[in-house]
Amino acid sequence: MPVPASLRALVAALPKVELHVHLVGSARPGTVAALARRHPGSGVPTDPAELARWFTFRDFDHFLTVYWAVQSLLRDRADIHELVVGLAADLARQNCRYAEVTVTPYNHLLDGMPGDELLSGLASGRAEAAAEHGVELAWCFDIPGEKGTKAGRETLVFALRERPEGLVSFGLGGPEVGVGRAQFAPFFTAAREAGLRSVPHAGETTGPATVWSAVHDLGADRVGHGIGSATDPRLLEYLRERDIALEVCPTSNVRTRQVASIGAHPVRRLLDHGVPVTLNTDDPPMFGATLDGEYLAVASALGLTPAEIADLARASVRASFLPEPRRTALLAEIDRVTAAQIRLPRPEPLA
């Protein structure tokens, strides 16, 4: 279903937030090619056309292999700074004001990057993102689940010891199959007690049992992806009643072959059950995704009204970990933009 120009204008005008984007996965193809030339022998293509083919994923495991290869190219502060600023520039072009960016410190340290280089790159990139692009960035430090409890423990220690400015949450990523959520419960308990919010991945490539574990064992405030919830009515009711938002990434799910198309995506079922749904890009250049594009794709596939599109933007703001005054201001701006873009009927005169 083609999207009318008026809806495109509304999506472009709406102030937005991004709640599920990985720093490594935000690397532009040109940046990846430049890093591959700088660090030969990685197996990452340097030719743009070949790189585009390389980003065609057979399945989720193939995507992870490519992702980890790109990650291995990041060696120092300058590389991290370049990724952060590039992401901010891309977000600013889409009127995205705030993003919570997932960083996996354990993997960078394992690849040989000193911790102070990682932190310095994050800090300088964050400052430039705000000053030059008007985008506020926050961090989620996540555990690479496939590396087990050792990775969980060291990620927790690094997060709480360093506690960089902008760190708001604690996550869990990587493959879900064979990687139980419950084993990471002690680390999430400690992180939550220290004031970090819980945002584990669950239900991206597995069913509702993984999401149940994320909310029960890890105290999830939000769930990364969570589309496996759609087959369990009781879980949908639980998420709705407790206002646990899902960080839904439709194009990502299509590109990693978890769903056949945007039209076949369970986002409609999630919305119909009143589950808080936020739209996100996950690893945007790798998937050919943009935040505006996610709104437009879902609007087209589901035939959303302008009011429903604005509600998706509001849901992301409400689910964010922004301070309350910033959330209130963004919600008010969404209301103003929506009122200006949508011609509302005049109220009936009072008798």
Give the separation between CA 256 and CA 111, rounded to whole angstroms: 25
Residue pair 27/70 in contact (Cβ under 8 Å)? The answer is yes
What's residue 343's pLDDT? 62
Which residue is it, tokens 């911790």? 115
User: Distance between CA atoms of 339 and 345, rounded to whole angstroms?
Assistant: 11
Active-site option among 18, 204, 247, 294: 204
Q: 10-residue block means of pLDDT along the chain (351 residues)?
A: 82 97 91 86 83 85 87 92 95 98 96 96 98 98 98 98 98 96 98 98 98 98 98 98 98 95 95 97 93 96 92 98 97 95 52 42
Beta bridge partner(s), residue 140: 102, 169
Q: What is the pTM of this model?
A: 0.93
The Cβ-side half-sphere exposure at 63, using a 13 Å CA radius, reads 21
Q: Is 259 helix (H, G, I), strand (E, B) or coil?
A: coil
pLDDT value for 115 = 97
Q: What's the Cα-to-Cα distance from 308 to each of 6, 10, 45, 126, 300, rounded to whole Å?
A: 14, 11, 41, 32, 12
Task: Spell out the domain ranges in the chain.
Answer: 5-340
5-340: CATH, from 3.40.1010.20, 3.30.460.80, 3.40.50.2300, 3.20.20.140: 3.20.20.140
Residues with Cβ < 8 Å from 276, sequence gap 6 or more?
Answer: 239, 240, 243, 244, 245, 246, 315, 318, 319
204 is catalytic: yes
DSSP at 68: H
> Which token pair is 104?
């996996």
Question: What pLDDT, on a 0 to 100 scale, did the predictor assign at position 1?
Answer: 58
